[in-house]
């Protein structure tokens, strides 16, 4: 049976936003006159902004992280996000699923405002039924597992007739915590190695393969 709804992670699953995100992290540390404690590379893309800034700053000093977060937002929201590109084949994937009458949603750790701007920038405004982010809620939710739980409740969605697609093991764990089947998009930033993909998860190496899986052609 085909799923009725597909819920997608965003960064590393549908879009390649690493260049813009990394540039804005670097700009934030430069603007605040702080040296990050580790190299700012693509493997940091995915977790929530505050969590990543704490990791890069080597601690959770609230005042400093707040300054860094403000500097990141200024850089990213005023133009950096427009450098975002869809992975090859993703646009075709989304339009094929929508054409098959599947409901499409996004559930991402990215902030809601830039997420919506990116969706519109890529011409996907009419493809998604809803966009969820941690700061979609007040107060913001603590993690993706809680977000998926709220999504299922608000959308009155049968978890076993839906699928979550993401590029990190944490995405799979969040899906499982809510009874959602999970497909690992192994082309993304998470670069899930074979040993990182649980036996109970399906995996797709390209958007074309994912389309075949979701449409029951593979």
Per-residue pLDDT of the chain (218 residues; tens, 9 = 90+): 789 999 999 999 999 988 899 999 999 999 999 999 999 998 888 888 999 999 999 998 999 999 999 999 999 998 889 889 999 999 999 999 999 999 999 999 999 999 999 999 999 999 999 999 999 999 999 999 999 999 999 999 999 999 999 998 899 999 999 999 999 998 977 666 555 567 788 999 999 999 999 999 86
> What is the reported pLDDT for 196?
59
130 within 8 A of 148, measured Cβ to Cβ: no
DSSP codes joined into one string, 59-100: S--HHHHHHHHHHHHHHHHTTGGGG-EEPTTHHHHHHHHHHT
> What is the reported pLDDT for 218?
62
63 & 88 share domain: no
> What is the reported pLDDT for 25?
96
> What is the reported pLDDT for 36?
97
- Residue among 109, 169, 176, 119 at smallest CA distance from 144: 109
For residue 97, the enclosing domain spans 5-16+84-214
Sign of CA dihedral 151, 10, 137, 124: negative
Helix-then-strand count for the chain, H and E: 8, 8
76 & 168 share domain: no
- Describe the strand order of the beta sheet including 182-185 as a list of residue ranges: 130-133, 103-108, 5-8, 162-166, 182-185, 202-204
> What is the reported pLDDT for 189?
75
Considering its fold, how many domains does the chain have in total?
Answer: 2
Q: In the 8-state DSSP scheme, what is residue 5? A: E
* Strand pairing report for 85-86 and 15-16: antiparallel
14 within 8 A of 87, measured Cβ to Cβ: yes
**Token pair of 61 as six digits:** 């000093």
> What is the reported pLDDT for 103?
98
Q: Which residue reads 């190496």 in tokens?
A: 205
**Token pair of 129 as six digits:** 């039924």
Burial 177-200 (b: 16+ CB within 10 A, else e): ebebbbbbbbbbbbebeeeebeee
The alpha carbons of the chain give a radius of gyration, in whole angstroms, of 17
> What is the reported pLDDT for 194?
58
121 & 203 share domain: yes
CA-to-CA dists, residue 188 to 69, 168, 178, 180, 200, angstroms = 24, 8, 22, 20, 19
> What is the reported pLDDT for 125?
93
65 & 132 share domain: no
69 & 101 share domain: no
44 & 148 share domain: no
197 & 101 share domain: yes
The neighbouring-strand residues paired with 166 are 184
CA atoms of 195 and 216, how far apart (whole Å): 25
> What is the reported pLDDT for 32?
97
CATH number at residue 95: 3.40.50.1000
């Amino acid at each position: 049976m085909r799923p009725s709804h597909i819920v997608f992670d965003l960064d590393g699953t549908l879009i390649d936003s690493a260049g813009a995100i990394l540039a804005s992290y670097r700009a934030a540390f430069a603007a605040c006159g702080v040296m990050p404690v580790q190299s700012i590379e693509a493997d940091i893309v995915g977790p929530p902004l505050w969590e990543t800034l704490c990791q890069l700053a080597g601690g959770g000093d609230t005042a400093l992280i707040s300054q860094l977060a403000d500097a990141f937002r200024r850089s990213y929201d005023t133009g950096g996000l427009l450098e975002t590109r869809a992975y090859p084949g993703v646009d075709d994937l989304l339009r094929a699923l929508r054409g098959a009458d599947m409901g499409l949603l996004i559930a991402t750790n990215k902030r809601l405002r830039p997420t919506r701007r990116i969706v519109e920038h890529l011409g996907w405004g009419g493809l998604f039924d809803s966009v969820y982010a941690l700061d979609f809620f007040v107060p913001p939710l603590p993690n993706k597992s809680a977000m998926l739980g709220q999504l299922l409740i608000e959308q009155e969605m049968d978890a076993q007739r839906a699928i979550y697609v993401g590029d990190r093991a944490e995405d799979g764990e969040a899906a499982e915590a809510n009874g959602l089947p999970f497909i690992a998009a192994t082309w993304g930033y998470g670069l899930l190695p074979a040993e990182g993909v649980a036996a109970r998860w399906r995996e797709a190496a390209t958007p074309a393969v994912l389309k075949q899986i979701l449409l029951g052609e593979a």
